[in-house]
Amino acid sequence: MSLNAESTAFRSALEVIRAVEPRVADAIGAELADQRESLKLIASENYASPATLLTMGNWFSDKYAEGTVGRRFYAGCQNVDTVEALAAEHARELFGAAHAYVQPHSGIDANLVAFWAILADRVESPALKKAQVRQVNDLTEADWFALRRELGNQRMLGMSLDAGGHLTHGFRPNISGKMFDQRSYGTDPATGLIDYDRVAEAAREFKPLILVAGYSAYPRKVNFRIMREIADSVGATFMVDMAHFAGLVAGKVFTGDFDPVPHAHIVTTTTHKSLRGPRGGMVLCGPELADQVDRGCPMVLGGPLPHVMAAKAVALAEARRPDFADYAQRIVDNAQALAEGLLRRGTTLVTGGTDNHLVLLDVSGYGLTGRQAEQALLDSGIVTNRNAVPQDRNGAWYTSGIRIGTPALTSRGLGTAEMDVTAELIHTVLSQTTPGANADGTPSKAKYVLDPAVADKISKQATDLLAGFPLYPTITLS
């Protein structure tokens, strides 16, 4: 594709949008300008390719397509079948999975599909068999009542939130916490690492139906072979949510015991984080759970989004190219360089470093809460997010941590030398920020003091750093 084709496509699209609602066209242009100028270190964000972005803006959006490929509840789905089948084929080939379901709209949706596939397989199917009926509508009122109680009375064991687990792994503010009786495994307080013996002990005591592995703020690899052995030892279904590190699995940075696909009964992911695709979700599994997974819509999902499934096909095709493995390795090299740069400057890191795409800073050493640090960094052109650290004394709102990740900056082409500069910028901001006070003089967990001249200087240095690595270099909007 030539330089001009991408620019022409986006410029033309904006012209069409501007004719209807110019403020939206302006906001789209402003968002590109903001993303170009800021040092994006949010571990869950990335930059999708122009091809992936363009695939989402078309008439596929207008089509209803409930059902699965070749078996729809609407007529006229032949072209949707083409893109959904392509996305699933690319996903199976890329991850070496027997089955791929590409309809989930997000990570939470993918997890809900997985939970209900497991519940259907482990709880509903045996109940139907026992009652000698084919489907739930054929159950007596009494049997249906008993099944509903049974479905709502199952156990899940997942990683605790402050150790880096995810809200959708059975925590009360999320639907999963209302569906399941949940217990958490944490990390070793001394090392910050998962203690597999403790996980096994918790599994033996709690006897969960589902053992969940996966994280959104744990900076280390997980040994999925050991986790599977633990699941097997208590008869649990082993589920891995690889939303954060799917790109590292796709790029063969995580292999063997660290690749979840050969070890888990079911794997869920988003497609837009380290995988660098469109916003969305996906489920991978073996043949045993495939039929139940394919019932995701209408079980828990609204109608599939064909334009997004088409974009998943494009992004997954990109991830199957040989250069994606190089990209995935550079994500980890960059995260390690960033961690080393911060450690050299005296920053405290949870687990003392990283072996994936993210680094978790404990900013209490700077005398700050995560919220104060996040805002001071933002003032300085560095976009991060605050995050709890293990045994966090500041709770989930203010926190004591800052989570940073390298997928986005690696997509822009920044390398290990630039990560050292980034570490210097972060350290300068944090060491020059002090906690603020409330109006009554009491210490505030949100307010902070940072000399605007320092923030401006760091912002300028961040912009200078990024100038050598233009974002979407083929696209000029004016």
Task: Give the residue at shortest CB distance from ligand DSN.
Answer: 44
Find the binding residues for ligand DSN in span 103-132 (CB under 6 A). 107
DSSP secondary structure code for residue 137 in this structure: G
Which residue's CB is nearer to ligand DSN, number 107 or number 341?
107
Interface with ligand DSN, residue 274, by CB under 6 A? no
Helices (H), 234-369: 246-250, 287-293, 296-299, 306-319, 322-344
What six digits make up the tokens of 468?
């050598």
The SS3 call for residue 429 is: helix
Q: Least distance from C-beta 259 to ligand DSN, angstroms?
A: 21
Contacts of 350 (CB under 8 A, 6+ apart): 192, 219, 360, 361, 362, 389, 390, 401
Q: Least distance from C-beta 216 to ligand DSN, angstroms?
A: 4
CA distance 208 to 204: 9
Are 169 and 242 in contact by the 8 Å Cβ rule? The answer is no
Residue 241 a catalytic site member:
yes
Q: Which of 66, 143, 288, 355 is flagged as catalytic?
A: 66
**Selection from 46, 159, 158 nearest residue 388 by Cα:** 159
Q: Which of 168, 270, 354, 369 is flagged as catalytic?
A: 270
Interface with ligand DSN, residue 44, by CB under 6 A? yes
Interface with ligand DSN, residue 411, by CB under 6 A? no
Among residues 216, 269, 410, 433, which is the contact residue for ligand DSN, using CB under 6 A? 216
Tell the burial category of 167 from Cβ atoms under 10 Å away from its Cβ (0-12, 13-18, 19+): middle
Residue 399 a catalytic site member:
no
Q: Which of 121, 162, 241, 418 is flagged as catalytic?
A: 241
Residue 255 a catalytic site member:
no
Are 285 and 111 in contact by the 8 Å Cβ rule? The answer is no
Interface with ligand DSN, residue 269, by CB under 6 A? no
166 is in an annotated binding site: yes
Q: Least distance from C-beta 247 to ligand DSN, angstroms?
A: 14
Residue 412 a catalytic site member:
no
Please identify which residue in the block is written with the tokens 């397509």.
Answer: 65
Q: Which of 40, 273, 276, 371 is flagged as catalytic?
A: 273
Which residue's CB is nearer to ligand DSN, number 43 or number 339?
43
Number of residues that bind ligand DSN (CB under 6 A): 3
Half-sphere exposure of residue 275, counting CA atoms within 13 Å on the CB side? 32
Which residue's CB is nearer to ligand DSN, number 185 or number 215?
215
- The DSSP secondary structure of 364-408, one letter per residue, reads GGGT--HHHHHHHHHHTTEE-EEE--TT-TTHHHH-SEEEEE-HH
Residue 191 a catalytic site member:
no
Which residue's CB is nearer to ligand DSN, number 107 or number 401?
107
Please identify which residue in the block is written with the tokens 């379901």.
Answer: 101
The SS3 call for residue 412 is: helix
Interface with ligand DSN, residue 399, by CB under 6 A? no
Residue 279 a catalytic site member:
yes
Q: Which of 11, 92, 183, 279 is flagged as catalytic?
A: 279
How many residues comprise the chain? 478
User: Per-residue x/- marks for ligand DSN, 325-354, CB under 6 A?
Assistant: ------------------------------
Return binding residues.
Answer: 161, 165-167
Residues making contact with ligand DSN (CB under 6 A): 44, 107, 216
Catalytic residues: 64, 66, 241, 270, 273, 279
Binding site, annotated residues for (6S)-5,6,7,8-tetrahydrofolate = 161, 165-167
